Structure 1
Amino acid sequence: MPIATVNPANGETLRTFDELGAEGIERRLATATAAFRTYRTTDLPERARLMARAADLLEQDEDAVARTMTTEMGKPLAAARAEAAKCVKAMRWYAGHAEILLADEHPSETEVKDSGASRARVHYRPLGVVLAVMPWNFPLWQVVRFAAPALMAGNTGLLKHASNVPQTALYLEDLFRRAGYPDGCFQTLLVGSGAVEAILRDPRVAAATLTGSEPAGRSVAAVAGEEIKKTVLELGGSDPYVVMPSADIDRAARTAVTARVQNNGQSCIAAKRFIVHTDVYDAFAERFTAGMAALTVGDPMADTTDVGPLASEQGRADLEELVDDAVRRGATALCGGQRPADLPRGWFYTPTVLAGITPDMRIHHEEAFGPVATLYRADSLDEAVALANDTPFGLSSNVWTRDAAEQERFVRDIEAGGVFFNGMTASHPALPFGGVKRSGYGRELSGHGIREFCNVTTVWHGAEPEDGA
């Protein structure tokens, strides 16, 4: 795939970039390694000052970088601005909390004595150069939620971004440079996916993090496993959105629309499978379908647009295949199910609700990455849980119920990295984020995220001799 900015709203190639060669990669690896040797000793207040400065600069750049994101991958401009603002928030959060999150931990006096020590503590040290392989769908946020904690922990970063968002990738390198970070602390590698293995195998790279597809995660995990290097993987998702009889159906249906079409439906944590108890199925289906059908599809730069184009022509083709397969096998399109006739240019797809889904349909098990929702009827709580878990993925989940006993049952039994009640899944810097099953492993954000790329060091002191001994 060429490294280029291609406007998904019209298919026009706006700018192309040369791929970094072997010499360029070596130069950046050497620079990142040298930077780590000194940056790792920088105290936390200085790291916080640099991160806060980067946040200030990003806040000033919000409109310009939002337009770049929209141009490169098609998200509505308002959503792009919100993404930039969210990055500012996360950067400031880590600048303000890292010292507490990385503070030494002290076992109890009894535990210290039992270990045979006079004193002991747990100390957090950075690992080194971390390679980040990042996707196009949240081209700023996905990177910042890695970079902010990794840099605050004292690591240095190498970014291999998706090939269709090169200008956003280069902006991030420039942002940290302008903030005053030492040369080499954060660098962008304009390389294709074929270059990742050699970079990851380089002994100067200590660890890797990847957000992306399941095949990409398998590839990186396999190489890292051979090299015995730490990885964090955030892969696909097919999140359930469960609606039980006690739910506020109007709110649940309105929120469901946003939960499905956020980022033009191209979000790992977007709700995709809508599992509704039979007692409220008809009411929810009517409201949800009406809300999806009422969305405005069009120019992502326009304030009136709700859903822009998919990021690539191949992405739309993949989505169409899933919908067409389901319809051929008996599913009903309650709305949508085709390209919008009034938008012949660009990679647009009409918001779609499919009902009558059966296990023999590909969309029952595969992730639909676009504005397509699947609707299921459940006769009981047990059936709702079973349907929610009938997926190879386990990123997050949404459950609408006001019954406390039902809530505890869903917390106990849903196989996912998060359970969000009476609202939609969203990431926040203070809360851990990640999944189970084929959605990956490890956690981003919160204290868990900043400690993923730390050497958790036990510091143990033997008994001190008494004076005169």
Structure 2
Amino acid sequence: MTELPSADFSAVLQRCGIELPALRGTDLSVRSPIDGAELARLAALPAAAMPAVIDAATRAFKQWRLVPAPVRGELVRLWGEELRRAKADIGQVISREVGKIVQEGLGEVQEAVDICEFALGLSRQLHGKTIVSERPGHRIMEQYHPLGPVAVITAFNFPGAVFAWNAALALVCGNPVIFKPSEKAPLSGLATFKALERAIAQFTARFGEHAPEGLAQIVLGGSDVAEALVDSPQIALVSATGSTRMGRAVGPKVASRFGKRILELGGNNAMLVTPAADLDLAVRAIVFSAVGTAGQRCTSLRRLIVHRDVKQALLDKLLKAYASLRIGDPLQPATLVGPLIDEAAFKALQDSIAQAEQQGGKLLCGGQRVLADQFPQGFYVAPAIMDMPAQTAIVKHETFGPLLYVLSYEELEQAIACNNDVPQGLSSCIFSNDLREVESFLSAAGSDCGMANVNIGPSGAEIGGAFGGEKETGGDRESGSDAWKQYMRRTTNTINYSRELPLAQGIQFG
């Protein structure tokens, strides 16, 4: 391993705008999953300070909502430029703090750049409809207006991109943002946020009063800080990414005060491989989807549903590919699989493997800890493949790690039913060159997931499409398409330009 000296990493943080002495405290110990080394010890914001943070966002909203949307778009354009300039440094922070390989760390920053570009274009397209009226001399139209302060609560696995997905849209739509990053990845969150702060400074220099104080804030802390955002009636929208368990706590609280929410929760994503599939193409997709980010994406491939006629041929190719995987320091260019985030993740993986074996599964490869001598405090694991006789209870459970279950089927309807027979409904895919099979999978009777792909894996979504899933995944959408509408309130306006006052439905009154 080529160790990056701590002094050099401090320089990376400084270039990202992170001054550790000003953030130092005893509350949050930030450790790298690469080797367990402590990267920083940070102070958490007391929950008692949250009302002032929320009040500042509320005041900022009253000013920011009046700024023309194309002018607001200029801010996200500047943010995108700052992210692009700092891409290498922010990517390295993500890799060191989360354990992603270099390419994935850089890819995450690029996602943030891409959503800024998307939001810039969106700033001139926040339009509603004109609707014909049944009454003469009347017109109906819809408008979208800014909603209010938006809280963004992120998970460790995408500490920069998910904040950017939400913040770029929220800002363009006229809303201030309060960012609460995961306690496991605060430095990555800070690096992404500092780029936004630099953009706000440039925007303010150009437009002056158009960038109010409190427009974008970051709060470091634990669940008490997150709960203050979730519980506050001043927070118009809570966007929270995490486990289904977290969503069960957040969702009802926001609903009880009639707030809006975007929940991005668990995924148990499947790939169907039919006899009409290009097996070599499928293998490439399986490997990236199942072992990328060490299986710690919400869109990671967890279930491989293969037709019995091609199962063995596919497994032979897949086992050969898994045997060649380079596991190790994610900062090394040749590495393909980095570490799990921590020991708890490793133990959860081991528990799932044990349960799968108890439920009739056969471990075909992997599952064991590796590189323990080199990284005593790093939890690296060989990606595992488990052949299952049926979709048992453990298969329906999301294990956040590189564990791939393999199931077989005979009829396509059976495979689709297997795809759908889990509590989660995020992403799915089919590998087939048979048009009938593909269209059946994409039809109303096909995959019940929020995302259904053909001849690509379930992970690696582009920002142009709406991201999200059904059932226990949360049912909400963020990022592209018309997800922006969630960050705004809609009004229906009826305009009478006649000299009469006819009532709808032909009602005669008086």
Q: Name the TM tier (shorter chain).
A: over 0.9
Residue among 174, 198, 202 paired with 2:194: 174
Would you say the 8 A contact 1:293–1:351 is kept in 2?
A: no
Aligned position for 2:477: 443
Aligned letter for 1:350?
Answer: A
Would you say the 8 A contact 1:442–1:452 is kept in 2?
A: no
List per-residue Cα deviations over 1:17-49 (Å, max 9, x = no partner): 111014532221121111111011111221111
Q: CA deviation at 1:360?
A: 4.0
Q: CA deviation at 1:361?
A: 4.8
TM-score normalized by the length of structure 2: 0.87
Q: CA deviation at 1:193?
A: 1.2
Q: CA deviation at 1:98?
A: 3.0
SS in 1 for 2:82: helix
Residue among 371, 388, 395 paired with 1:356: 388
List per-residue Cα deviations over 1:125-149 (Å, max 9, x = no partner): 1110111111010111111111111
Provide the rounded CA distance (Å) in 1 between the counterparts of 2:273 and 2:470.
22
Aligned position for 2:366: 336
> For residues 29-108 of structure 1, what are the structure 2 equivalents within 5 Å?
29-100=54-125, 102-107=126-131
Aligned position for 1:383: 414
Q: CA deviation at 1:182?
A: 3.5
List per-residue Cα deviations over 1:312-366 (Å, max 9, x = no partner): 211111111101221233322211121115545201111111112434452x111
List per-residue Cα deviations over 1:80-121 (Å, max 9, x = no partner): 011111211111121023322x113212xxx32x15662221
Aligned position for 2:23: none
List per-residue Cα deviations over 1:164-210 (Å, max 9, x = no partner): 11112222332222102532111111121133233322221112111
Structure 1 residue 317 and structure 2 residue 347: aligned?
A: yes
Provide the rounded CA distance (Å) in 2 between the counterparts of 1:97 and 1:131.
21
SS in 1 for 2:233: coil
> For residues 62-461 of structure 1, what are the structure 2 equivalents within 5 Å?
62-100=87-125, 102-107=126-131, 111-112=132-133, 114=134, 118-180=138-200, 181-341=211-371, 343-345=374-376, 346-362=378-394, 364-412=395-443, 413-425=446-458, 426-461=460-495
Provide the rounded CA distance (Å) in 1 between the counterparts of 2:436 and 2:271.
18
Would you say the 8 A contact 1:116–1:463 is kept in 2?
A: no
Provide the rounded CA distance (Å) in 1 between the counterparts of 2:197 and 2:144.
26
Q: CA deviation at 1:3?
A: 2.5
List per-residue Cα deviations over 1:235-294 (Å, max 9, x = no partner): 010111110111111111111101111212101111110000111111111111221221
Would you say the 8 A contact 2:111–2:463 is kept in 1?
A: no
SS in 2 for 1:260: helix
Q: What is the RMSD of the two structures over their aligned residues, measured on CA atoms? A: 1.7
Identity, in percent, stands at 29
Provide the rounded CA distance (Å) in 1 between the counterparts of 2:448 and 2:316.
29
Would you say the 8 A contact 1:197–1:223 is kept in 2?
A: no
Provide the rounded CA distance (Å) in 1 between the counterparts of 2:487 and 2:114.
21
Q: Which moved more, 1:259-268 or 1:343-352?
A: 343-352
TM-score normalized by the length of structure 1: 0.94
Q: Which moved more, 1:188-197 or 1:46-55?
A: 188-197
Provide the rounded CA distance (Å) in 2 between the counterparts of 1:77 and 1:130.
31
Aligned letter for 1:178?
Answer: R
Provide the rounded CA distance (Å) in 2 between the counterparts of 1:306 and 1:440.
31
Provide the rounded CA distance (Å) in 2 between the counterparts of 1:58 and 1:382.
45
Aligned letter for 2:97?
Answer: E
Number of aligned positions between the proteins: 460
Would you say the 8 A contact 2:304–2:404 is kept in 1?
A: yes
Aligned position for 2:207: none
Aligned letter for 2:408?
Answer: R
